[in-house]
A = this chain, B = another copy of it.
Amino acid sequence: MDKLPDPEVSVTADDVAAAAGVSRWTVARAFKKDASISPKSRDRVLTAARRLGYAPDLLAASLASDRSNLVALITNDFNNPHKLVLLERLTRILSSHGWATLLIHMSDSDDASAALLAASQRRVDAAVLIGTRFDDSVLDTALGARRVKKLVVFARYSQNPNTLTIACDDILAMGRIADHLVEGGYRRPAFLAGPDTQSAKLHRKSAFIDHWRSRTGGDVATVHAEAYDFGAAIEAVSLLFTGAMDNRPDVLVCENDILAIGAMDALRYRLGLKVPEDVAVTGFDDIPLSLSPAYRLTTYRQPITQMAEALFEVLEGKREGDVLLPGQFIPRDTA
């Protein structure tokens, strides 16, 4: 009768080796994909392993090999539902390739050093910054405490040379949105952005403004919400429209969907305006809510799956340099 795996006793490669009558090294080889091992040995090892309930200890492996197949996902923006989409895609795709993910919360107040220290103490192979709410000075401190082998900025831009950016091509994206608006006959756009800190994150804003200017020669009004959530967007938009009702914008171009949804709420429930009849709105991200009949938001979808795959390639060292991928314009009813 087969012995059942005993949960109390941890079974190691040595146990399997003894059971299969081979060396510990051969056991390790049997679990490697492309190892020089005879099919017979491998089979014997795997059978024994299954019977004993053995699974390699990745912690010990990491320590010995100095490679953990572990990434830290560091983020600070838990208000935006888009984060959930990013986390879902990243964990799913990375784990399908054998990578585990450490989720690290970076509070707004303190800098990234603490997060990176935590990551490095767990010996991650790379740290991935996912977020919109930190500016580039954060990266400098992070890199000062350079304890992490690779630092990737995901779904956001970074000019920092020691950092690798994987993102959606914002210039292309905002150009596409601007084109759509020009062709739709809109003439007085306003851009609703997040907090106005000195950083590269306002890429979308400048990309839109540049493109709009070159196509129409016209100017673009600008508002900053105090945070990336719809509450802040409601305040910002209310303020904007109560100010100058005589020559009000005919379209609100928003840095992301959550701001766009706040903008729509403000227009409808605070200002009594209709979307898109009175004012049109565009977003960015295509969060699930954008599809809801209450919003039906015209937006732009980031190529998250491809971005996640690109991250995987970067982690494996199969790819170098920044990655900028084109997304997809999603026209719905709000513009």
Contact = CB atoms under 8 A, between A and B. Distances in A.
Given A100-B118, A101-B103, A84 B88 contact: no
Contact of A229 (B62, B262, B288): B288
A107 B92 contact: yes
B100 A105 contact: no
24 contacts: A7-B146, A55-B117, A55-B121, A57-B63, A57-B123, A59-B59, A78-B85, A79-B84, A83-B84, A87-B103, A91-B103, A95-B105, A95-B118, A100-B102, A102-B102, A102-B103, A230-B292, A234-B293, A261-B292, A262-B292, A265-B292, A268-B293, A269-B293, A270-B293
A307 interface: no
Interface string A43-63: 000000000010111111011
A139 to B, nearest CB: 15
A140 to B, nearest CB: 15
Interface of A: 7, 53, 55-60, 62-63, 68, 70, 73, 78-79, 81, 83-85, 87-88, 91-92, 95, 100-105, 107, 117-118, 120-123, 146-147, 229-231, 234, 261-262, 265, 268-270, 288-289, 291-294
A311 B84 CA distance: 22
A58 B262 CA distance: 43
A2 to B, nearest CB: 15
A295 B119 CA distance: 39
B104 A122 contact: no
A319 to B, nearest CB: 22
Contacts of A55: 117, 120-121, 147
Contacts of A78: 84-85, 87-88
A232 B87 CA distance: 22
Chain B CB count within 10 A is highest, among A56, A122, A268, A269, for A122
A268 B292 CA distance: 12
Given A265-B293, A294-B265, A56 B121 contact: yes
B104 A102 contact: no
Contacts of A268: 293-294
Contacts of A84: 78-79, 81, 83-84
Nearest to A148: B7
A84 B229 CA distance: 14
A289 to B, nearest CB: 7
Nearest to A121: B58
A180 to B, nearest CB: 24
Give 9 nearest A-B pairs by CB, closest first: A78-B88, A269-B293, A91-B105, A103-B103, A7-B146, A58-B121, A92-B105, A59-B123, A81-B81
Contact of A59 (B53, B83, B122): B122
- Residue from the set A59, A62, A81 with the largest chain B CB neighbour count within 10 Å: A59
Contacts of A62: 59
Nearest to A61: B121
Contact of A63 (B53, B60, B85): B60
A234 to B, nearest CB: 7
